[in-house]
Structure 1
Amino acid sequence: MSITYLFKFIENGTELRIETAAAEEIKVERIPVDPAPWTKLEYCQCTNCPLDRTQIERCPAALDIQPIVEDFRKLPGFTKVEVSVITSNREYHKTTGLEEGLRSLMGLVMANSACPILKNLKPMAFTHLPFASQEEFIVRSVGTYLLRQYYNMKDHEEADWNLDGLVSLNRELQLVNQAVWQRVHSACEGDSNLKALLSFFTLSSSVSYSLESQLKKLKGRFLDETDPLKEFETLTGSKP
C-alpha cells in the first residue's frame, strides 16, 4: 500500500491529498507530464552527483519532488495545517506548520528516489516516522546504519561499528540537499518548500558535524548509569 499525506488547511478548510510509495512497495508514479527546466540534471547538478548528464537528462530526485513543489509553491511555511499520515499499519496526526509536514513528506519521497546517493536512505523510508525530532532522527539513523553493519558482518563483509561511513554519507547528503534547495528556489514563490528542505538539511548536518555529541546526549536514555547503592542511600537516608 502507499503512504498518504493529507494536508487540511485550517484557515479555509481545503484539503490536499498526496500519495507516495512505502519503501517496500512499487513506486507510486507522480512524475510530471511536463518536467520543469529545474529538473534537468545539468541544472544545479550536485557536485558529488555520479550521474552522467550526457546519458541522463533529468535528475531523479527533482522529478519526484516537482509535483509537491508545484502543489505548495505559493504557500508560506508558517501556514497552519492538520496533517494526517496514513500507512498500512497506523495513522499519524499533527496540527503544525506546513513546513514540518512537508519536511516529512519530501524526506520520504527523496529517500525513495532513484538518486544514487539518496537511495542510501531507503531503509529509513522503510520505518518512516513523520514529524521526527532531531533525537529520533539520530536514533533511527544510527540504528539503521548499525543494522546494516550487522548484516555485513553476517555476510563476512567488513562492518563499520565506528559509524565513520554514516558520517561520510550525511556529508554527501548535505551536498545533495544544497543542490536540491537551489533547484527548488527557482520554482518557489512562497517559502514552505525551501524551509522544509532547510530543516531536512539541519537534520543531516547534525549527523555529519556533531554525531558524537548527539550520541553523548542520548547515552542516558539507553544506559542506566545510576549507582543503586547511592540511590538507596538518597531515598532512605541509610546504608543498605
Structure 2
Amino acid sequence: IIKHLDILCSYHQIRVKVIMKNRTITQDTTIQKGISSLMGLVIATSGCPRTRFFKSMARFHLPLADEEETISRAASMYLLKQYFLKNEGKPTDFDLKELIKIYDDMHIVNMAIAERLKAASKTDSAVNAIILLDVFTYVLPLSIEGYLQKFKYLFDLDC
C-alpha cells in the first residue's frame, strides 16, 4: 500500500472507487480516508491474533464507512458471535465487555503499525490512515451504549 501511495499527502482529495462482487462504491474523500479503509481490510485479514475478531467483519466490509456504520457493524457482528457461542453452550458476553477489550487491544496494534509506517514512509498519508482507524479504539469503548441507544428506534420492541 505504501509503495504505491506514498507520493501523496494525507489531505489530498481523491475519488475512491471500490468494485466488489455485489456493488460499487465511489466517494470523493482524502488519501488518508481511502488508505484507512483499505488498511482496515488488510489488518482484519492479516492473521494477527489480536485482529481475529475483525475477520468476520471483513467478509461484509463496508469501504469508507463512517463512525455510525462501523460501530453498528462491530456491535452486530460481536452479538452474532455471542449467539453462536450460546448455541454451543459456551460462555457469552451480551454486555459487550469483551468487545471493549478487543478495541483496547487494537489500539496497541494500531500504535505499533503507525510506528512501523512512520519509519517506512516519506509522507504522512499511511500514518494518518492508521490514526483514523485508531479513532474507533477510543470512540467505541467510550460511547458504545450511547450509539446502541441511537439504534433502538429501528426496532419494534413490542412484538
Same fold (TM over 0.5): yes
User: Structure 2: any 5+ residue segments left out of the alignment?
Assistant: none
Cross-structure match for 2:109 = 176
Structure 1 partner of 2:45: 112
Alignment equivalent of 2:151, drawn from 218, 227, 232: 218
What is the TM-score when the length of structure 1 is the normalising length? 0.62
Is residue 59 of structure 2 the alignment partner of residue 122 of structure 1?
A: no
Q: In the alignment, what sits opposite 1:98?
A: 31
Of 96, 101, 104 in structure 2, the residue corresponding to residue 163 of structure 1 is 96
2: CA distance between counterparts of 1:71 and 1:208?
Answer: 34
CA distance in 1, matches of 2:103, 2:141: 5
Task: Give the conservation status (yes or no) of the 8 Å contact 2:32–2:129.
Answer: yes
- % identical aligned pairs: 33
On the 8 A contact 1:170/1:204 being kept in 2, the answer is yes
Match for residue 88 of structure 1? 21
Q: In 2, Cα distance between the equivalents of 1:214 and 1:178?
A: 25
Q: Which structure is higher in helix share? A: 2
Question: 1: distance between equivalents of 2:150 and 2:116?
Answer: 35
Kindly indicate whether residue 123 of structure 2 is the aligned counterpart of residue 190 of structure 1: yes
Aligned-residue Cα RMSD (Å) equals 1.5
Task: Kindly indicate whether the alpha-carbon contact (under 8 Å) linking 2:2 and 2:126 is maintained by their aligned counterparts in 1.
Answer: yes
**Superposition pairs of residues 1-240 of structure 1, within 5 angstroms:** 68-220=1-153, 222-223=154-155
Larger radius of gyration: 1
What is the Cα deviation at residue 188 of structure 1? 1.6
Instruction: Measure the CA separation in 1 of the matches of 2:139 and 2:156.
Output: 25
Distance 2:137 2:67 in 1: 9
2:120 aligned counterpart, secondary structure? coil
